[in-house]
Structure formats: C-alpha cells, structure tokens
Structure 1
Amino acid sequence: MAAYRDLSDIELTILLKEGNHSAFTELYNRFKGPLYIHAYNKLRNTEEAKDTVQELFTKLWNNKETLTLTSDLVSYLYTAVRNRVFRQIERKGLESGYISSIQDSIGNRSNMTDHRVRENMLSAMIEKEIAALPQKMREIFLLSRKANLSHKQIADQLGIAEPTVKKQVNNALKILRVKLGIIVYLLMLIR
C-alpha cells in the first residue's frame, strides 16, 4: 500500500476505473477526513456526515467503470459531497414540514372530534328537553327555531294571534333555560 500513497490523484483514478481496490482504498483514506469535515460543517451531525461520505465512496466504487471527470478528482468529490448535503437538508426540511403538517392535522382532528362529541351531546340534551315541552308550545317553538319562521308566519300558519306565538316561544325558552342552564339558553338565542 505504501506505493499507492506516492501516486497522484490522477494515477489513482485511472487505477480505480480499472477496478483496483487498493487504489480505491488509498483514495478513501486520502479524502475521507477532509470530506467528512466538509459535510459536518454543513450538516452539524456526526452520523449524517459519516453517512454522506460513505455513500459517496460506495457510489464511486459501484460506478468506477463509468466514472467521467470533467475536472480534477478533488473538485468532483467536494462537489458530490456538497450536492448530497444539499439533498439531505432539503429532504430534512420536507420531512420536518410533513411532520409538522401531520402533527397539526392530528391536533386539529382531535380538537374537532372533541368539539363534535360535545356538540352532539348538547344537541341530544336540547332535543330531549324540546320533546318534553307541551305539544302546542313545542310545535310553535320548532317552527320558530328550526324552520326559522317569523312570529307572524307562525301565527298565519297555525291560525293564532301573533302575541300568542311570541308568548309561547318565550315560555319555551324559559323552560329550557331552567332545565338546561344559561349556556344552552344562549345557544338557543343564537340559533
């Protein structure tokens, strides 16, 4: 191996292209340290920097026969490390964005689910109490709140006086307020 240390990068590259494993080992030993430092300075992660250099040399060995250098070997290796580092940073950014998006989505879904469960429970309570109202009062109340008819429209539809409709709606709201509490009462006014 001592003889390989004395060879230039160009000579080692020629031997590498011929499949000379000792030439590859010399190139690896010659450049792994500086390339690791170059990758680490960008990634700030020991394992990722080691993996980047390892992947580069693995690809170099696997593609040795088709290796075409447009510049010297040193420039090729540093450019290859830089490109790998950029791809890793880009991939990590995308992964981080996906993870954040998924976490936000999960958080929103659990909040939405919790909200829907409470809303469904509240709706069931309201429906139960509305069903317990006296028949005529329930009918007027449902026309007012569910069908969104005005007091005049309800009075015309049922053939009763408009003040009677108003009084029945107010009485229904009083009953519901007592049975369901002030929160439901406010919700019913908003509906």
Structure 2
Amino acid sequence: MKELSDRDLIALLHLNDHEAFAELTRRYWQDLFKHVCSKIRNTEEAQDIIQEIFLSVWKNRSDIRCDDQGRLSSYLYRSAKYASINYFSRSGIALRGVEVLEEMLAYPAAVKSDEGLLMKELHRVVDAELSGLPDRLQLPYRLSREQHLSIREIALRLSVSEQTVKNNITDVLNRIRFRLGKYNSDPNIIFIIASLTVLSNYDLMF
C-alpha cells in the first residue's frame, strides 16, 4: 500500500478497502496532528480533532476526491481549518474574536478557488471597515494586531485607561462582525461570525 498514490488509495477507499484507509491515515496523521496542535495549542483536543477528521473520511469515503495534484491533503487540511475555527468558537475558549477571524483569513491550508476569492473579499471588507474608523477606534486595534502591544501598553501609549482600550477594541470587533453579517448564509463564514462573539475576559487574552 505504501507505494500507491493518494489517488489509487482513494479509488480503493471507494471500494471500502480498510487497508487503503489505514495507509491514508498513516500517511497524513502525524503532520495533520502537528498542524492542528500549532493552531489550538492543546494536544488532547488536537488528537480528538484528527480522529474525527479521519472518521469523517471513512464515513464519507464514497464522496472523497483528490485535489488537482492527486492528493488528499487539500480535503484534510480544509477539514482541519474548520475544526480549528469551531474549537475556538466554543464558550470558555480564551481567544480574541478578531484573532479567529484572522486565523480563518490567513489559514495556510489549500482551498478551492471560490474560497480563495471569498477570503480576498473578506480581507477587503475588513480593511475598508478599519480604514473608515476614527483614530480613537482604529489605533488601539492596529496597535494590538499589528504591533502586538498589550492592553496596558496601548493604554500607556495613548494616555487612556485600559478599560477604554478594551471598549474601543470591542467596538471594532462588533463593527467587523456587523459588516460580515451579509456573508452569514455561507457555511464557510458561519464559524467566523460565531467566533467574533468570543470577547469575554480580555485580561486573560492580552
């Protein structure tokens, strides 16, 4: 089985071949696991995510297809992308909503051309929204996201209270979420919209 290409293995997978499934799992498990770990920083959750991805491969084996290069990697990493975004949209996960948005926009997994166009459109919408904001809102956000300053550092630089900085960044996030609202019928964007609501406990996140 090791000498077979992904395309050959998937052809066998369509015939319910368990050995082909085992080889695909062996071929991609470790790299996919490391990739998800690097995103969510939780090894146990990453392992559960990878297990679910490969269970989905078997469950949907009759519909699985290779990418244009004859590999399964596009499907797997796309699944990992959505699973990671879904993980961060859970209540209690400490991550800034805008960080989830940027994770989705910058995710390195291979995507279909129509998804790529959608991501470019989202970049454009977010950039346009930010550029149109007053400095009191735009500056705290950019200092946080572009210069990676903490809430305290931003407050000191702008001579305002830490609470003001938090309020201004929250306002920016809400505006971005509102602007993205027209995309919420697209299943690729639902995770973004949901994740943008994860704004609790900034002190733990900055």
TM range (shorter): 0.3 to 0.5
Larger Rg: 1
Q: TM-score, normalised by structure 1?
A: 0.46
Higher fraction of helix: 1
Ranked by relative contact order (alpha carbons within 8 Å, sequence separation 6 or more), the top structure is: 2
Structure 2 length as normaliser, TM-score? 0.42
